[in-house]
């Protein structure tokens, strides 16, 4: 998925893939905008794509960058909202660097339980 990244401004290419409870793997890449704040990260592209295709339960997420970059704050919130405490694999361009959980990325998360 990194090869599909549209990152002409940062040149920082990111790929992500989410695994569904039915064993499907759905990918996404970062898609940048000339109005930088409108950029969508690879993690959110993959998750929004999966949701759009009707998936609702996820078991793991993998993220790949050149140098092992970690998910940004916005993606941490969206991962928690849509996936709760799934396994997250962090990779660089060659290999798996570490495996963590969404709760490690966003401790004491805000979520829908506060809205009820």
- State the nearest-atom distance from the C-beta of 72 to ligand THU, in Å: 4
CA distance 107 to 96: 23
CA distance 4 to 76: 22
* Footprint (CB under 6 A) of ligand THU, residues 16-55: 30, 32, 39, 41-43
CA distance 116 to 9: 41
Among this protein's residues, is 19 annotated catalytic?
no
Q: Give the footprint of ligand THU on this chain (CB under 6 A).
A: 7, 10, 12, 14, 30, 32, 39, 41-43, 69, 71-72, 75
Active site residues: 43
């Amino acid at each position: 998925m990194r090869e599909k990244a549209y990152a002409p401004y940062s040149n920082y290419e990111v790929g992500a893939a989410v695994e569904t409870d039915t064993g499907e793997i759905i990918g996404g890449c970062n898609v940048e905008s000339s109005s930088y704040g409108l950029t969508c990260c690879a993690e959110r592209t993959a998750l929004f794509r999966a949701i759009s295709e009707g998936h609702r339960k996820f078991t793991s997420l993998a993220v790949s960058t050149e140098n092992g970059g970690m998910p940004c704050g916005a993606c941490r919130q969206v991962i928690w909202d849509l996936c709760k405490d799934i396994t997250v694999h962090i990779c660089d361009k060659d290999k798996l660097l570490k495996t963590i959980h969404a709760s490690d990325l966003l401790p004491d998360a805000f979520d829908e339980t506060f809205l009820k």
